[in-house]
Every structure is written in structure tokens, then in C-alpha cells.
Structure 1
Amino acid sequence: MDFEAIKAAAAGYQADMTRFLRDMIAIPSESCEEEGVVRRIRSEMEKVGFDRVEIDGLGNVIGWMGEGGKIIAIDSHVDTVGIGNRDNWTADPYEGYETEDIIFGRGGSDQEGGMAAAVYGARIMKDLNLIPEGYQIMVVGSVQEEDCDGMCWQYIVNKYFNGPEDARSRIAFVISTEPTDGGIYRGHRGRMEIRVDVKGVSCHGSAPQRGDNAIYKMADIIEDIRALNENGDGDSYAVRGLVKMLNPEFNPKHAEDAQFLGRGTCTVSQIFYTSPSRCAVADSCAISVDRRMTAGETWDSCLQEIRELPSVKKYGSDVTVSMYMYDRPAWTGEVYETECFFPTWINKESAAHVRALADAHRALWGDERIGHADADPALDAMHLRRGRPLTDKWTFSTNCVSIQGRYGIPCVGFGPGAESQAHAPNEITWKQDLVTCAALYAAVPGLYRPDEDAGDATEFRQSLTDNDIR
């Protein structure tokens, strides 16, 4: 393989990737409102010579290169979060701008930059005849990830393919282009969206003792949830903290994987109430809990540990702990209902698909993370990359929760931009990252050696729920 030719081709497409990314940024594309950016991506795929381009029923755009029966897929979600407080942005988040080194605007790092690099990585494969015999390349621009990560791939697996067995038999592995700060990522924690409901009894606010204030009950529960996140794991704690899963005493099978992924966390993210008026006692209160899960934790253990909190047990049948469901219509009008449970997943570093990316990086760029260095800390990519291992993990969650976590299709991550830019004002990405990633994507298929895989690439996959969820 001519790695210098791959690098030269990627550098030659920098201007095209920049233009394409700026066009995507200019089209607002929050979850369920991605039609404009999906159609722009289809246009670019057709322009650069994809063999086939289509939009599925949920609104995902899928481009194909090659004709083999086995698939290597590259996934980029093309929806973004909103802009938040406009006053926190120094320039228009959709008009954006570029300098010699960076591209500014909502979606640059999270993660339309990954889409630009994937499209041109596939183009380089075609230019240089890099698609191995028997394989085809599937480039996916997926929707609704910010709303419900992985649901888009649940749709692809069950509607586009003929279910999990068919998808597993045909897809060798998937590269996620979520931002990785120049690293190759082989796993991340899972997550759940949990709801806690508390019942009360209303009365006139002038005599609150006649009622049963649901907000006061919830205040106790919130304190216990905070303790669950912040406490240690010693016997002195009434609420033993989530850090316990890093301790082999409490997590004998998976403590090592948990130490790699990082501890689980929980935080109250929303609060709701009902009350007859502002001069009445609240008769209900509910909260949303964002729960990040490490190796060894399960969906039911996470629900149960909230049910076992002292305050929850104190209020007994007045408290209900449940998991959210998601059923928001896509931009096409399609509804794919699923549970808000996003399983933890990890690969072994020795897995063939992980090694293929590491081998490509070493051949193209060396053993260490690379990126744009800048005297201005706000524009410097390397301050978060220097000294970190080339192979690592994400802090946040990705579509891989379904692709590998739910269905066992091997995943690995390498994408332009920085995790710290995700969901932040004044989001940027780096032009050098687009070139780095496009080159690596182009080289990977030729370095993948499935015959060297022992068949146990997955180190840990979380158990699924007993709900009837496809």
C-alpha cells in the first residue's frame, strides 16, 4: 500500500472537505430536523462518485462504494444540538468562518466534520483502488443521535438489513467518526435515562401541614442521588458510591474494564412538578436522572440501586422508578420507538478491527496522536492529545451503543475534532484533522485481517433488558 499517495490524496482534498463541512454547518440540523443537511450530503456523495446513494425511511443517508458481499461501514451522525445562548457565541454559529487552520460553527467537531472526512476517505479508496476484493464500503450519515443515540442504527439493522443476524453476518465492523482528539477509541460507558416520580397531596399553602409536599420528598431523594454519585465505597456510607465498581471486591469480573472505561456516574438533569397553584402544596414531583454505566453494571442494577436508596424506601409506594422510552418522529415522519437504554461496550485492543486502525495510523502518522498546534490555547488541538495513549476510549456516548452494545457488530472510533468542543459555544474543528482522518479511513480496509481475529473481539457487552425491543 502506498501510504504517501494516500496522504497526498487526502491533503489534496482538504479544500473540498472544508467547503463541504462549511455547507453542512450552514444548514441548521437539530435532531428530527435534518432533511436539509441529509440532502446536501446526498448531493456531495453523488458528486464525488459513490456507486449508489439512498435515503432510508428514517432519513439516514447511505452511500456505497464497491460491490463485495462483506461490508466495512463508516458512521457519522449528522444532527447537532442547538446553539444555546446566542450571546455565548463570538460569531454566527451557522454562518461560521474559517482560518488557515480551523473551521468555526455548530457541528464542526460534533460531528459533521466526521461526515466530510468519511465521504472523501471513500473517494480516496476509489481513486487509489483501495477497496479489497469481496468488500464494499458503507458510509452512513445517521439522524437523531443527539436525541437517542443508536436508535438510527436500530432502524438500519432491523429495517435496512433483515435483523441482527443478517447485519452481523454482512458487516465486518463499523468506524465511528465521532471526535476522538486524535486517538483510536475501542469502547465507552453506556447510559440510561431514568425517571423518578413522587406522589403527594395538595392543600392550601396557608396551612401546608394539611398536605403532603411531593417536592420535599423529592428533595430527600435528590440528596441521596447526589450521594450515590459522590460518596466513596466504604462501610461508613449509608449510600455507597458508584466508585465501588472500580473495586474488585464489588465488581470481581469487570473491575479491570471499569477502570479502563471510568466509573459510572449519575446526575439529576431535569425536574418537574404539578400543583394546583402557586399558593398550594405540590401534589407530584418528578426528576430525570442521567446515568452513565461502566462495565459490570446492568440496566436493572441501576434501577434497583435507586429503588434501594434510603429516601426512596422511606416513601415506599409513593415513589416510582422507571426508564424513559423514546418515540419522537424523524424528519421523514417515521417513528421508531425504543427504550432509553444505551449499552456499555468495549473491544480488546488486540481485536482485528482495532489493530487495523492502529496499523494505519502508525503507517501514516506514527505512534502518537497528532494535530494542529497553536500558540492560542483556544485554537490548539494538542493540549488534550500530548501524552495520551493512541488507543483509548470516549467519555461520552455514541451510536456504537446499538451497533456493538446492542447487536454485537464490532465498532471502533477515530474522528476529527475534540470531545471538549461537543455541545459547547464557539465550536471549532481543525482542517488538519479532516486530512488525517480521511487518509486513515482510506487505508484501513486494506489492513484489516479478519483471519487474525480470535472471535472474541468484544471484551464486555452489557446485558439487554427484558423488554421487547428490537
Structure 2
Amino acid sequence: MRPKHLLKAAWQHEQEIVAFLRDIVMIPSYSGNEEKVVKRIALEMEKVGFDEVKIDPLGNVIGRIGSGPRVIAMDAHIDTVELGNERLWKVDPFGAVLKDGIIYGRGASDQKAGMASLVYGAKIMKELVGTDGFTLYVTGTVMEEDCDGLCWKYIIDNNEIRPDYVVISEPTNLNVYRGHRGRLELQIRTEGRSCHASAPERGVNAIYKMVPVIQGISLLNDRLKSDDFLGKGSVAVTQVFFKSPSQNAVPDECTIQIDRRLTAGETKETVRQELEDIFTSSKTKAEIVSLVYEEPAYTGVVFPMEKYFPTWVLDEDHPLVRKAVESYREVLESEPDLGKWGFSTNGTVTAGLYGIPTVGFGPGNEIHAHSPDDQVSVEHLVKAAAVYALMPAKITE
């Protein structure tokens, strides 16, 4: 079948794709509570003819088609953030309302639309394109919103899959994305000595000790490096905690939470050195505290991971980027824009940690992610499915 005919085939599955997406949007699946939606996705994979469907010990649903030597993974995380202020929603966030060609609801854009398009793209691929020379895994991964990439670190470290290429279906507005900034979560702690607040001179106020550090971090943000493609790194103090015997005592410990966004060339080692330099210049004794995510999956499995999410970028002329663009061009008969996400994805592990070539293409627009306007168009769902149907064969030709 000629590539452009894949779009016609995808439109023939429009009602099925829409019904599947609406079903999984109706199922709440906050991070760590994805079991019901995982089982629903597994049923759909079996229904459309995947060769094998399994749920791994962490709770990821993994569907396989083909058995060739080249391994491609096409990923959608299927957990969502919570609702926030429900009064801001104009529709039932779990109603999966379909109106004027748009599906609304929590997770519609981020990131269940990608899952729906991937499942039906794989079905079309199996029926019309074939699987000569490759194995395709479609993964519905868990806990991304709480700790992006943890799901893939588990998959790779436990020898579930080690793909040669990864396609991430996070929303790209139907463009091809080739990277994003990384991030690092950490804390800084100062210690003092408590005493009665009526005589503060008897103690050492840990909050006061933190002040020059906070000021130094504020100034650091202004001078962080920028990258022509990824943009500027950033740093912000996002939370402040303290310990004190009472409200009438000088606090003896102060801790601040840091959100550090990493552009090209920035790593956890460079970040640590920047902070140490602030401590030195301000003559402050402070401790950097690495943070580890160790919440249980819905299966009960705990897989600890440091909250370090490396930056990743593929060159414009990388073969995977070129093949993604060619797939788009041949199916949709137009040219995609090349871009990047503003947020972070599972690519922090597949590409950032393990160096596996990774590219992004997905339905929906990231401006709707995490918002009370969470939505995706039916047109995007269908067009993404058609492109997904060609991508694996194109990538491995």
C-alpha cells in the first residue's frame, strides 16, 4: 500500500479510535493508580491483534507486534496529573466530552491521545505495512508525571526491552520534536542552634543562614547559559521548610527545594559546582541533598530513582529525525516543523541516560497539558495513527 493510503485507512478506524480514547479518558489514572486504565489498554491491544500483550511487574502495559531483529518502542505514558481546581473545568474532566471534533478531559492531550493513536497505528501497520525486519513494542507506561523516565529505567534495567529506537507520543501538535531541556530536583539544608525567641542572640538562626544562599541562587538564574535550540537553563527556589522546637524558638534547620532546568551541556555535576561556589562566596556552611523518588507503583513494586532527568537532543540530520520527517511527509503529503518540548518526557531516560536515539511525534498541543482545557482533536488522532503505521518500517528500511 502506498503511504498516503494509510491516512484513508486511519480515517476508516476513526470511530474506534475515538471510542477507545474516550473510554480511557473516563478512567482516572493518577500516577501510582493506573491499574484500571492499564487493563483497559491491554484489552484493546488484544482486540486489534497484537501478537503479545503483557503487564510487567511495575505495571507498564507492553504490546508486541513482529519478531524481527531491529527493535522499536513507541511510548505513551498513561498516568495523568490531578484535576486542580475543579471549578475551572467547563466540562466533566472524566466525561470525555466529544464536541465539534474535539475530545475534552483529563489526560486527553497528555497523554492518552498518543496511546489511542499508537494502538490503532500498530493495527494498521500490521495489516497494511507488515513487520519485515523489526519488532515493534507499544508501551503504556506508568508514573511518568511523578518521575519521568522511571518506567523506562525499570524496563531497561530489568531486561524487558532494550530498543534500538524510541518514538515518544507526547503532544507535539503533529510536529517532529527532537529533544528538550533536562531537570534536576534537589534540596539545600542549613543548620543552626535553637534557643528561645525572646533571646535570639543565644542561638543561630538556620533561616538567616539560608538567606545569602537564596540570594545567590536568584543571581545565578540571570547568568545561566543559553542554547540556540533548547533555550536557557533556569533555577528557582520553589519551597522552604524549617524545623524548630516551637513558634517561640529560633529554628535550627532550614531546607529549600530547588527546581533546576538544564540546557545543553549542563549536568548534575555542573549544578553541584555552581551551588558549592555560592556557598563559598557567601561563606555559608550548607549541604546539598540529592532526592530519590521511591513511591510504590500500583503493583506494590518500589523502584527508587534519583530525581535527575538529563537533557537530550538529536541533531536535525540524525537518521531517526530524517525518517520521522519522511514518514510524516509520505503519509500527510506536507512538511512538519522540527521543534522541542517545553516540558520533560520519558526521553530523559531513553535518550538522556541510555543514549537510545529518541524522537517525538504526537497528537494534541502541549499548551493544553495539565490545564482545565485538556483536549485533543479527532483529526490529530487519526493523522497520528496513520503516521505511526509507517514509522517503524521507515525507520528500519
8 Å contact from structure 1 (residues 192, 323) kept in 2: no
Structure 1 residues 202 and 54 mapped into 2: Cα distance closer, same or farther (>3 Å)?
Answer: same
- Equivalent pair of 1:220/1:311 in contact (CA under 8 Å): no
Residue in 1 aligned with 2:318? Answer: 351
Q: 1:311-330 to 2 correspondence within 5 Å?
A: 313-316=282-285, 319-330=286-297
CA distance in 1, matches of 2:131, 2:242: 58
Could you list the runs of 5+ residues in structure 1 that have no partner in the other structure? 232-240, 247-257, 370-389, 451-470
Whole-angstrom CA distance in 1 between matches of 2:294 and 2:24: 26
2:214 maps to 1:222: yes
User: Is residue 2:238 matched to residue 1:299?
Assistant: no
Tell me the amino acid that sits aligned with residue 130 of structure 2: I
> In the alignment, which residue of structure 1 is the partner of 2:248?
279
Give the SS at the match of 1:404: helix
Distance of 1:277 and 1:292 partners within structure 2? 35
Say if 1:276 and 1:406 are closer, same or farther in 2 by CA, change over 3 A: same
Q: How does 1:119-158 map to 2 (within 5 A)?
A: 119-128=119-128, 130-158=129-157
Counterparts of 2:125 and 2:396, CA distance in 1: 17
Instruction: Report deviation, 1:312.
Output: 7.1
Q: Give the equivalent residue in structure 2 for 1:409.
A: 356
CA distance 1:89–1:219, shift in 2 (3 Å):
farther
Question: For the structure 1 residues 10 and 312, does the alpha-carbon distance in structure 2 shift closer, same or farther, using more than 3 Å as the test?
Answer: farther
Choose the corresponding residue for 1:391, options 338, 361, 375.
Answer: 338
Structure 2 residue aligned with 1:384: none
Amino acid at match of 2:309: F
Distance 1:96 1:285 in 2: 44
What secondary structure, in the 3-state scheme, does the structure 2 residue paired with 1:160 have?
Answer: coil
Aligned-partner SS, 1:260: coil
Q: What secondary structure sits across from 2:237 in the alignment?
A: strand
Residue correspondence of structure 1 range 19-98 to structure 2 within 5 A: 19-98=19-98
**In 1, Cα distance between the equivalents of 2:117 and 2:375?**
15
- Whichever residue aligns with residue 321 of structure 1, its letter is I
Structure 1 residue corresponding to 2:300, chosen from 333, 343, 347: 333
The Cα of 1:131 is off from its aligned counterpart by 3.0
Q: Distance in 2 between matches of 1:29 and 1:20?
A: 15
Residue 117 of structure 2 contacts residue 381 of structure 2 at CA under 8 Å; is this kept in 1? yes
2:220 is equivalent to residue 212 of structure 1: no
Q: 1:132 to 1:96 in 2, by over 3 A?
A: closer
Q: 1:207 to 1:90 in 2, by over 3 A?
A: farther
String of CA shifts for 1:312-359, please: whole Å, max 9, x gaps. Answer: 74222xx10132111111111111112111111111222221111101
Q: Aligned partners of 1:408, 1:339: CA distance in 2, in Å?
A: 18
Contact 1:352 1:449 in 2 (8 A): no
* Letter paired with 1:124: I
**Aligned-residue offset at 1:113:** 0.8
**Cα displacement (A) at 1:7:** 0.4
Distance of 2:236 and 2:32 partners within structure 1: 26
Question: Structure 1 CA distance, aligned partners of 2:348 and 2:60?
Answer: 17
AA of the residue aligned to 1:191:
R
Give CA-to-partner distance per residue, 1:144-183, whole Å, 9 cap, x none: 1111111111111111348xxxx2xxx2311000111221
Q: Does the 8 Å CA contact 1:307/1:313 hold for their aligned counterparts?
A: no
Distance in structure 1 (CA, Å) of the matches to 2:251 and 2:281:
18
Partner secondary structure for residue 295 of structure 2: coil
Matched, 1:362 2:329: yes
Alignment match, 1:10: 10
Structure 1 residue 93: Cα displacement: 1.3
Kindly indicate whether the alpha-carbon contact (under 8 Å) linking 2:182 and 2:348 is maintained by their aligned counterparts in 1. yes
Q: Which residue of 2 aligns with 1:252?
A: none
Q: Deviations over 1:105-162 (max 9, x none)?
A: 110111011111110110111221x134121210000111111111111111111348
Structure 1 window deviating more from structure 2 (13-22 vs 176-185): it is 13-22
Offset, 1:409: 1.4
Count of residues in Structure 1 that have an aligned counterpart in Structure 2: 397
Offset, 1:212: 2.1
Cα distance in 2 between the residues matched to 1:211 and 1:367: 69
- Matching of residue 443 in structure 1 with residue 390 in structure 2: yes
SS of residue in 1 equivalent to 2:251: coil
TM-score normalised over the length of structure 1: 0.81
Deviates more, 1:107-116 or 1:339-348: 339-348
Q: 1:260 aligns with which of 226, 229, 238?
A: 229
- How many angstroms apart in 2 are the aligned matches of 1:8 and 1:276? 69
CA offset at residue 187 of structure 1? 1.2
Amino acid at match of 1:391: L
- Asked if 1 retains the 8 angstrom alpha-carbon contact of 2:171 and 2:361, the reply is yes
Identity of counterpart residues, as a percentage? Answer: 46
Q: Does the 8 A contact of 2:4 with 2:330 survive in 1?
A: no
Secondary structure, aligned partner of 1:398? coil
Once the 2 structures are TM-superposed, how far is the Cα of residue 413 of structure 1 from its aligned partner? 0.2
Task: Give the counterpart letter for 1:417 in structure 2.
Answer: G
Residue 69 of structure 1 and its aligned partner are, at CA, apart by: 2.5
**Structure 1 residue aligned with 2:117:** 117
User: Distance between the aligned counterparts of 2:265 and 2:171, measured in 1?
Assistant: 26
Partners of 2:234 and 2:324 lie apart in 1 by 30
Deviation per CA, 1:258-313, whole angstroms, max 9, x where unpaired? 22111111112222111112222222111111111111112111011012115874
Once the 2 structures are TM-superposed, how far is the Cα of residue 67 of structure 1 from its aligned partner? 2.2
Unaligned runs of 5+ in 2: none
- How far apart, in 1, do the equivalents of 2:338 and 2:160 lie? 31
Query: Aligned partners of 1:218 and 1:283: how far apart in 2?
Result: 11
Indicate whether 1:203 and 2:203 are aligned: no
The offset of 1:31, in angstroms, is 1.0
Q: Distance in 1 between matches of 2:247 and 2:379?
A: 55
Amino acid at match of 1:403: T
Which of 292, 298, 309 is equivalent to 1:342?
309
- C-alpha distance in 1 between matches for 2:282 and 2:340: 36
